[in-house]
Amino acid sequence: MQAPPERFNFAQHLLAFNATRASKLAYLDDRRRLTYGELADRVRRLAGALQALGIRREERILLLMHDTCDWPVVFLGALYAGVVPVAVNTLLKDVDYAFMLEHCRAQAAFVSAPLLPTLQAAMQRSAHELRHLVVAGGSSADTQDLEVLLASSTPALQPAATGADEPAFWLYSSGSTGRPKGTVHTHANLYWTAELYGKPVLGLREDDLCFSAAKLFFAYGLGNALTFPLSVGASVLLMAERPTPEAVFKRWIEHKPTVFFGAPTGYAAMLVSPQLPAREQVALRLCSSAGEALPREIGERFTRHFGVPIIDGIGSTEMLHIFISNRPHDVRYGTSGKPVDGYRVQLRDEQGQVIEGANEVGDLYVEGPSAALMYWGNRAKSRETFQGVWTRTGDKYYRDADGYYVYAGRSDDMLKVSGQYVSPFEVEATLLEHQAVLEAAVIGVTDENGLTRPKAYVVLKNPAQASEALAQELQRFVKERLAPHKYPRIVEFLPELPKTATGKIQRFRLREREAGR
């Protein structure tokens, strides 16, 4: 597979590839459609606008925007100009944005109008001063309107002569284990995820309409709704609102996307929704899952209903997208599949030695061309994660006898019970097989003797069923299916589990809950 040239600008790469598709639909949201020709014009206008605003190459802009047709324009326009967009989660608090403004030292911010008050509150908290504030969908005396800015801009006809290994954009890690870290990616990283995963594994086609519940600020969503479809000339459906089952179903039925990208929590919620559409109401040919490991029971139920496979895999913000995956022709639910061509993976034991045999849990390391450069301004964490050519994922896995990789949990979440490792995910996946359970999270709690015992937090499909009798039934259910030391000694029912905006369960929040008791 051909590597990108030393001088490489990913935005220009996409515009050149799609130059013959000027009249083809690139993006569709609730209010607007953009053809590839219109996208190219707006990307170049955004690049020209950044230059006119005095934003220089390698300087950073904050991108705090909902998933609309404006998001890819700002992101790609910045890349085209050699400016570094810092794409951030739209569901955070002003204190989080204040930290990010100071951390990335953004010269400008591009924000969706509904998010402007939160960003302005963050600006009041922050000692860092923005030079420009551009609003998509409105403006005021202190801001500029994105549409007016684009209309008055002179398009940049030539892209910045960026290098393939030059910093192109930042993503903040999702914060499933604490404060997010600014992860710096290159122009080439985007290229490699499309070449190694989007095209050969997912097999995306020019005639596909892609729809991602995972938002563009998330590494998974960025690949799903920008890098992959635009790298094959496909079309993309965007949704600004939160991906509730009802919102997703509405678009499945009205717009007929062919490829859908979701997360396990979303698929679980869909399957219990009374509005679940019939197979003949949708046009799906393929679904993808990432963010957390997909429980076997959810994958099997979804495929029985829709006749469509869910391709589960594991990726990370640090690697930009998926590097171990199932394939459309080779789906083994309950596993993350096998390594993607172009990536190498290792499992290492507690002494750092490579595990060669099957069914032994170890720390997962990965090597591949889409790895981030660093965490900005955090040398200690960078050294801990990026170790030579290898990236430490922080996940525990084992490889079964057939070579499929099985998720055992985050390294920080693993439990040692009676001297033996217990995977929270294994217990959670077993609980999900019970007909009453919607979601589950397992952590370790210390008993009166100072010993670690598994505790399960359970969300029920019908909260009214919560009772001590059901808790005991769930304990027996797990005991019958797993080794005795793995069953949860305590079961607590909750209305919902703490999660990141990308759907990952924040078990550290549950541990904090226990510590506060």
| Encoded tokens for 493 | 């029912």
Can you tell me the distance from the alpha carbon of 408 to that of 398, in angstroms, rounded to the nearest whole number?
A: 7
What's the full length of the chain, in residues? 517
pLDDT of residue 228: 98
Q: What is the DSSP letter of 238?
A: -
Asked if 450 and 418 count as a contact pair (C-beta separation under 8 A), the reply is no
Q: What is the pLDDT of residues 72-115, one digit of tens each?
A: 999 999 999 999 999 999 988 898 899 999 999 999 999 999 99
Q: How many Cβ atoms from other residues are within 10 Å of residue 3's Cβ? A: 12
Q: Helix or strand or coil: residue 448?
A: coil
For 67-213, where are the alpha helices, taking DSSP H only?
70-81, 94-104, 116-125, 146-151, 187-193
pTM: 0.87
Report the percentage of the chain scoring pLDDT > 70: 98
Cβ(424)–Cβ(441) below 8 Å? yes
Q: What per-residue confidence (pLDDT) applies to 128?
A: 93
* The pLDDT of residue 55: 98
Q: What parts of the chain have a pLDDT lower than 70?
A: 174-179, 418-419, 501-502
What confidence score (pLDDT) does residue 412 get? 75
User: Residue 84 has what pLDDT?
Assistant: 98
Closest CA to 80 of 28, 108, 40, 116: 40
Written in H, E and C, the secondary structure of 283-322 is CCCEEEECCCCCCHHHHHHHHHHHCCCEEEEEECCCCCCE
Q: Which residues of 159-191 are buried (b: 16+ CB within 10 A; e: fewer)?
A: bbebbbebbbbbbbbbbbbeebbbbbbbbbbbb
Give yes or no for a contact between 490 and 415, defined as CB atoms under 8 angstroms apart.
no
User: Do the Cβ atoms of 366 and 432 come closer than 8 Å?
Assistant: no
Distance between CA atoms of residues 300 and 289, nearest Å = 13
Q: Are 146 and 70 in contact (CB under 8 A)?
A: yes
Q: How far apart are CA 17 and CA 231, in angstroms?
A: 8
